[in-house]
Amino acid sequence: MPLSTDQQAEIDQARDGTQPTRRAVVPALEEILYQALPALDHGFVRVVDYMGDDAAVVQAARVSYGRGTKKVSEDRGLINYLMRHRHTTPFEMCEIKYHVKLPIFVARQWIRHRTANVNEYSGRYSILDNEFYVPRPEHLAAQSKANRQGRESVLAGKEAERVFDILKKDAELVYEHYLEMLNEGEDGAPLDPERSGLARELARMNLSLGFYTQWYWKTNLHNLMHFLSLRADAHAQYEIRVYADLMVDTLKRWTPICHDAFLEYRMGGASLSKTGLAAVKRMIAGEKVEQKSSGLNPREWRELMAVLGLG
């Protein structure tokens, strides 16, 4: 359960009641506004604000005065054109803000995308909660031997049990010691009135990377889609992909036409190298092309075969 009763009450209150606005409104996104969409064992993604919609992309591309009277089909045609030809600036005219709760090792991967605004909960000022990530059995992957970055079949039996045991017990231990060094009980009262307690900015270093942190993360539609194209990809680490997948759903609610164009031209499409393209041309001409005659090295050849659904 990611939320306390107080937190849920604050969210309910924020969702309760509406006000009139002259701005573009997206009912499908308003429906889930502020709601915590669960991710992993204790995390979530919440859309907390947004600006613009599909029409705002069109409006910016045309630098127009009004909301436009064009038909939806024309909007779709223009958005597809912009996406296909990488005219990215009109997509920068929409903005979205998320509140995300996520394990620190995921946050460290995420923050590498610098084109966003971030406010993170501070372990210098505040005490972090006792919540840490433990993978579910089906995600307890073994290290791939072929690919240094990859996972392979999951661990099982005694090995899996041992890993669960370590992750859980170590997290409990370091958190208990964190509170002891801070000289704080879970209720906030000093454990020992005689002691001072270590500075929060120091004590936090005893926590491990599986503990949850949270932040407000705001970005524009173009940068969001770039982030999602990398993090909703099959090569991304499972633990960040869970968040990206939820955000693809919010993208669909927010800007359905851009979402479709994103799937058509980014996620579902493919990039061919110069040599790969030459090989494809020969294949289309009916030639039988082999790796050796393709000019591609074995790894690139395998990647091309995978893209083409061959081999």
Q: Scanning residues 127 to 166, which ones bind its own copies (CB under 8 A)?
A: 133, 135, 140-144, 148-153, 155, 159, 162-163, 166
CB of 288 to its own copies, least distance (A): 11
Site size with its own copies, rule: CB under 8 A: 138
Q: How far is the CB of 249 from its own copies (least distance, A)?
A: 18
Q: Could you give phi then psi for residue 281, rounded to 5 degrees?
A: -60, -40
DSSP-assigned beta bridge partners for residue 215: 100, 120
Cα dist. 189→125, 129, 180, 185 in Å? Answer: 17, 15, 12, 5
Question: Which stretch, 241-249, 250-258, 303-311, contacts its own copies (CB under 8 A)?
Answer: 303-311
Which residues have CB under 8 Å from 92's CB, separation 6+? 220, 221, 222, 223
- Which of 5, 71, 124, 234: binder of its own copies (CB under 8 A)? 124
Smaller CB separation from its own copies, 131 or 180: 180
Q: Does 22 bind its own copies (CB under 8 A)?
A: yes
Cβ contact 62:75 at 8 Å: no
Taking the least distance from each CB to its own copies, the nearer of 43 and 90 is 90
Rounded to an integer, what distance in angstroms lies between the CA atom of residue 33 and that of residue 238?
A: 25
Residue 89 C-beta: closest distance to its own copies, Å: 5
Binding positions for its own copies, 46-75, rule CB under 8 A: 49-52, 56, 59-61, 63-67
Minimum CB separation of residue 269 from its own copies in Å reads 5
- Give the nearer residue to its own copies in terms of CB position, either 181 or 246: 181
198 vs 102, 123, 127, 130, 182, CA distance in Å?
26, 13, 12, 18, 5
**Following CA atoms 96, 101, 106, 112 in sequence, which dihedral angle do they give, to the nearest 10 degrees?**
30
Residues 91-120 touching its own copies, rule: CB under 8 A, are 92-93, 95, 97, 99, 103-105, 108, 111-112, 114-115, 117-120
Site string for its own copies, 164-183 (x = CB under 8 A): --xx--xx-xx--x--xxx-
**Does 302 contact its own copies by CB under 8 A?**
no
CA gap 87, 69 in Å, rounded: 22
291 binds its own copies, rule: CB under 8 A: no
Among the listed residues 46, 200, 231, 253, the single catalytic one is: 231
Residue 18 found at the interface with its own copies (CB under 8 A): yes
Nearest to 254 by CA among 69, 25, 87: 25
| Closest listed residue to residue 129, CA positions, set 12, 47, 207 | 207
Q: Which of residues 231-260 bind its own copies (CB under 8 A)?
A: 235, 237
Closest separation in Å from C-beta 80 to its own copies: 8
* Separation between Cα atoms, residue 261 and residue 244, nearest integer Å: 17
Contact status: 280 vs its own copies (CB under 8 A): yes
String of DSSP letters for 91-130: GGG-EEEEEEEEEHHHHHHHTT--SSEEEEPPTTTSPPPS
Distance CA 126, CA 268 (A): 43
Nearer to its own copies, 130 or 230 (CB): 230
Site for its own copies in 185-224 (CB under 8 A): 195-202, 204-210, 214-216, 218, 220
By C-beta, is 246 or 304 nearer to its own copies?
A: 304
- Those residues whose C-beta lies under 8 Å from the C-beta of residue 287, and which sit 6 or more positions away, are none
Q: Active site includes 231?
A: yes
Catalytic residues: 231
